[in-house]
Amino acid sequence: MPVPWFLLSLALGRSPVVLSLERLVGPQDATHCSPGLSCHLWDSDILCLPGDIMPAPGPVLAPTHLQTELVLRCHKETDCDLCVRVAVHLAVHGHWEEPEDEEKFGGAADPGVEEPRNASLQAQVVLSFQAYPTARCVLLEVQVPAALVQFGQSVGSVVYDCFEAALGSEVRIWSYTQPRYEKELNLTQQLPALPWLNVSADGDNVHLVLNVSEEQHFGLSLYWNQVQGPPKPRWHKNLTGPQIITLNHTDLVPCLCIQVWPLEPDSVRTNICPFREDPRAHRNLWRAARLRLLTLQSWLLDAPCSLPAEAALCWRAPGGDPCQPLVPPLSWENVTVDKVLEFPLLKGHPNLCVQVNSWEKLQLQECLWADSLGPLKDDVLLLETRGPQDNRSLCALEPSGCTSLPSKASTLWDDDLGALWACPMDKYIHKRWALVWLACLLFAAALSLILLLKKDHAKAAARSRAALLLYSADDSGFERLVGALASALCQLPLRVAVDLWSRRELSAQGPVAWFHAQRRQTLQEGGVVVLLFSPGAVALCSEWLQDGVSAPGAHGPHDAFRASLSCVLPDFLQGRAPGSYVGACFDRLLHPDAVPALFRTVPVFTLPSQLPDFLGALQQPRAARSGRLQERAEQVSRALQPALDSYFHPPGTPAPGRGVGPGAGDGT
C-alpha cells in the first residue's frame, strides 16, 4: 500500500537530502549506465545464488563500489513509496595471458590470437537486496567497448531503479558477477523511521510510544532479527489508537526489533531495531546465553542473537582453583550461535569445562559434562599433541602451567588414547612409606616440643620442610652412601623422599610417573628438590642436553634419575629452578665445576665440607640460627662419616678409583 505523502514528509522532513529526492512515476523497474556502456535489465528476478569464486579466464568486469540514493516511486501525485536506487561502479580486473608460442620462442604469435584483446567485455552483474520481510535479486547485463578496456581502470557505472523498502527498515545490498570471480561487495543502510514510533526510557522500563489517531487500527510485533535464518517472533498484538507499550529492561537484547503496520490490505510495514548499541541489551544477551550439551563430544551456544565469540576447553580441579585453559595445545574456536561445535579426540570428563570469550573477555564458563558424569574428580590431566611427522609431546597440567614430558617417556601411555586424557590421582601421586612418614612426623613433633621448651627463636621452623632426593645409581656402594645421607637428613626437621624407600611404588607406576608425582607434591608444599651429582649423573645430564643416544652402561629398573630429567630440564630451561632446587656432590668424588652449566644456576654444595650451607638451603627461611645449623651439620657429618669411609676405603682393599669420571677429584 503506498504511503501518503504527508507521512513521508514527516519522516524525511528533517533530512538534508529531502529537497533533492527524485520522483519516479510508474511501478516498472529500470536501469541506465554511464556514457559509452550498454546495459540491459532482465525481465524477472533471479535466484540469489552467488556460487563459488572461480579463476578469471582473462580481463573481466568486477564491481568495485556500491552507492545508494533514496528516491520516491509515486503511484499518484501524493501517494509515494520510499525506494532505494543502487549504482554499481565497475572496473577491469585481470589481464590477458601471454600466447604460448610467443613465450617459448620469443617470436610473434598468430595474429588470430590478438583478436580477443580488441574485443569488448561483457558481464552479468547481480544485485541482491534484503529488507525484512522482502528479499530480491536482479540481473544486469553490461557491455564495455574495447576502447574503454584498460586494466585496473574504472569504466563507469550501471544504475538500477529501484528497490522498494519500508520506512525505518534496515536494507542490505550485495553485488557480484555471474560467474563470480571476486568476493561480493556489500552495503547496509538504515532508512528513516516514522516520527510517530518512538522509544523512551523510564528507569528500568522502556516505553514504546505510538502517536497515531484514535481511529487508526494497526498491528505491533516484536521479534528477534537473525543474521542467518528467519526472524523469531516474540510478541504480536492488534491495537487501536495511541498506545504506550512497556517493556522490562531485562527483555532487551541487541536484535530485538519492532514492526508496525496499518491493518489494511498490502500495507507497508515499518521496522526499527533501536537496541543494537544499548549496553543493557548486550549485558542481557550474555545473561540469556547458554551452553547446551548434545552428546559427550558435541555442544552448542544458545542465545537470542548472533554474537562474536570464541570458545576453548579448560580443566577445573577440585579445591576452587581457577579453570585452566587448554590453550595451547588446543586453540580457540570461533562460535556461531545454534551451530554444533565439537572438539576432536575428546572424551567427556566432569572436570572439563567450556569457556566462551568475546573481545578477549570471559563471558561464559560451564562444566557441561558434570551433570552426566558426576562431581569433580581428583585427577591429573595429561595433554598429548602430535607433530607433522607423528611426533608426540606430553605434558601434565599443573597450577603453574603444563610441565613437559619428552617423547622418550611416551611408552608409559596407551597409543590409542587421544589428545586429552585423565589419570586418577591415587595412581599418579605416590603414597609415602607409612612407617618412615610416621617416624619423621614424630621426630619433627618431638623436636618442635624441645625447641619450644627451650624458648628458642626457632619457633618458625616447627613445620618440617619436604625434600626430594634425586641421584644416579652408579653402583651399589653409591646407593648405600645415598641411603646414609637420606637417613641423616631425616633426623632433622625435613621430610625426605628418595626412591630407595619406594621401590614397590616405583616399579608399579614407572619412574616418570613416580618422580613427577613426587616433584609436583614437593614443590606445591614449598619443598626443595636435591640433585645429587656423581660421575654417572653428569654423564646422563650431558646425554640429555645433547639429545644423544643413551650412554653405554647398565642402568637398573629403579634408576629414577634418568626418568627425572624429563621433568627437571624444563624447570631449568624455563628459569623456574632457582629457589626450588639445590645441587650437591661428595668431596673426592666430583668437583662442582664438572656439573653442567645449566644446573649451576642453582647453588651446588660439596659434602661434607659445605654441610652447614647445604642444610641452610634445605630448611625453611629463618628456621634455625647459625649456631644451631652448625650443630646439625656436625650431627649429619657424624652419621654420614662411616658410610663415606666404607665407600672410599672399603675394609681390606686399597682405595678404589671412585674418582673415574668427568671432573672427578684426585682422591687426596
Residue 96 pLDDT grade (very low, low, confident, very high; cuts 50, 70, 90): low
Query: Could you give the CA distance from residue 108 to residue 450 in angstroms, rounded to a whole number?
Result: 107
Provide the pLDDT for residue 158: 95
The x, y and z cell numbers of residue 161, run together, are 531503479
- In degrees, rounded to 5, the angle at the alpha carbon of residue 571 between the alpha carbons of residues 569 and 577 is 115
Arithmetic mean of pLDDT, 474-486: 89
Query: Could you give the CA distance from residue 46 to residue 483 in angstroms, rounded to a whole number?
Result: 88
Phi-psi region of 193 (alpha: psi -120 to 50; beta: other; left: phi over 0): beta
Provide the pLDDT for residue 409: 38
- Is the pLDDT at 614 greater than 80? The verdict is yes
DSSP tally for the chain: helices H, then strands E: 14, 35
Provide the pLDDT for residue 387: 63
When comparing pLDDT for 4 and 62, which is higher? 62
Residue 610 pLDDT grade (very low, low, confident, very high; cuts 50, 70, 90): very high
251 and 281 Cβ atoms separated by less than 8 Å: no
- Is the pLDDT at 505 greater than 60? The verdict is yes
When comparing pLDDT for 325 and 585, which is higher? 585
When comparing pLDDT for 518 and 98, which is higher? 518
- Is the pLDDT at 346 greater than 80? The verdict is no
Arithmetic mean of pLDDT, 330-356: 78
The x, y and z cell numbers of residue 436, run together, are 618412615
- Is the pLDDT at 599 greater than 80? The verdict is yes
Query: Could you give the CA distance from residue 6 to residue 23 in angstroms, rounded to a whole number?
Result: 15
- Is the pLDDT at 251 greater than 50? The verdict is yes
- Is the pLDDT at 252 greater than 80? The verdict is yes
273 and 225 Cβ atoms separated by less than 8 Å: yes
* 23-37, 45-59, 260-274, 485-499, range with the lowest pLDDT: 260-274
- Residues present in the chain in total: 668
**How far out from the chain centre does Cα 541 lie?**
36
Provide the pLDDT for residue 595: 93
pLDDT in tens, 526-539: 899 999 999 999 98
SS3 608: coil
Residue 29 pLDDT grade (very low, low, confident, very high; cuts 50, 70, 90): confident
Q: Residue 614, exposed/middle/buried by CB under 10 A (0-12, 13-18, 19+)? A: buried
For residues 226, 228, 229, 234, the Cα torsion angle rounded to the nearest 10 degrees is: -10
Residue 462 pLDDT grade (very low, low, confident, very high; cuts 50, 70, 90): very low
Provide the pLDDT for residue 405: 64
DSSP code, position 108: P
Pairing status of strand 154-164 against strand 79-93: antiparallel
Give the closest residue to 263 by CA, choosing from 221, 322, 230, 235: 221
Which amino acid does the sequence have at 182?
E
- Is the pLDDT at 481 greater than 80? The verdict is yes
Provide the pLDDT for residue 156: 93
Q: List phi, psi (to 5°) of 377.
A: -110, 155
Residue 453 pLDDT grade (very low, low, confident, very high; cuts 50, 70, 90): low
Q: List phi, psi (to 5°) of 6.
A: -65, -30
When comparing pLDDT for 157 and 350, which is higher? 157
Query: Could you give the CA distance from residue 148 to residue 154 in angstroms, rounded to a whole number?
Result: 9
Query: Could you give the CA distance from residue 477 to residue 491 in angstroms, rounded to a whole number?
Result: 22
Provide the pLDDT for residue 140: 95
pLDDT in tens, 372-393: 777 888 877 777 766 666 666 7
pLDDT in tens, 59-94: 899 999 999 998 888 776 656 778 899 999 999 987
Which amino acid does the sequence have at 274?
P
Query: Could you give the CA distance from residue 73 to residue 81 in angstroms, rounded to a whole number?
Result: 5
Arithmetic mean of pLDDT, 581-585: 95
Residue 270 pLDDT grade (very low, low, confident, very high; cuts 50, 70, 90): confident
Pairing status of strand 217-224 against strand 205-210: unpaired
Beta strands in 543-603 (DSSP E): 581-586
SS3 358: strand
Query: Could you give the CA distance from residue 637 to residue 650 in angstroms, rounded to a whole number?
Result: 19
When comparing pLDDT for 346 and 524, which is higher? 524
Query: Could you give the CA distance from residue 424 to residue 34 in angstroms, rounded to a whole number?
Result: 75
Give the closest residue to 184 by CA, choosing from 246, 114, 129: 129
Arithmetic mean of pLDDT, 207-236: 83
Provide the pLDDT for residue 419: 52
Provide the pLDDT for residue 545: 80
Beta strands in 146-288 (DSSP E): 154-164, 170-177, 185-190, 197-202, 205-210, 217-224, 232-240, 243-248, 256-262, 270-272
Provide the pLDDT for residue 593: 92
Provide the pLDDT for residue 469: 92
* 429-438, 454-463, 545-554, range with the lowest pLDDT: 429-438
When comparing pLDDT for 513 and 188, which is higher? 188
Query: Could you give the CA distance from residue 163 to residue 207 in angstroms, rounded to a whole number?
Result: 32
DSSP code, position 264: S
- Is the pLDDT at 44 greater than 60? The verdict is yes
SS3 468: strand
The listed range with the strongest mean pLDDT (69-83, 109-123, 188-202, 589-603) is: 589-603
Percentage of the residues of the chain whose pLDDT score is greater than 70: 74
Percentage of the residues of the chain whose pLDDT score is greater than 90: 20
- Is the pLDDT at 628 greater than 70? The verdict is yes
The listed range with the strongest mean pLDDT (112-121, 419-428, 595-604) is: 595-604
**Average pLDDT of the chain?**
77
Residue 195 pLDDT grade (very low, low, confident, very high; cuts 50, 70, 90): low
pLDDT in tens, 149-171: 888 888 999 999 988 887 777 89
Query: Could you give the CA distance from residue 38 to residue 33 in angstroms, rounded to a whole number?
Result: 7
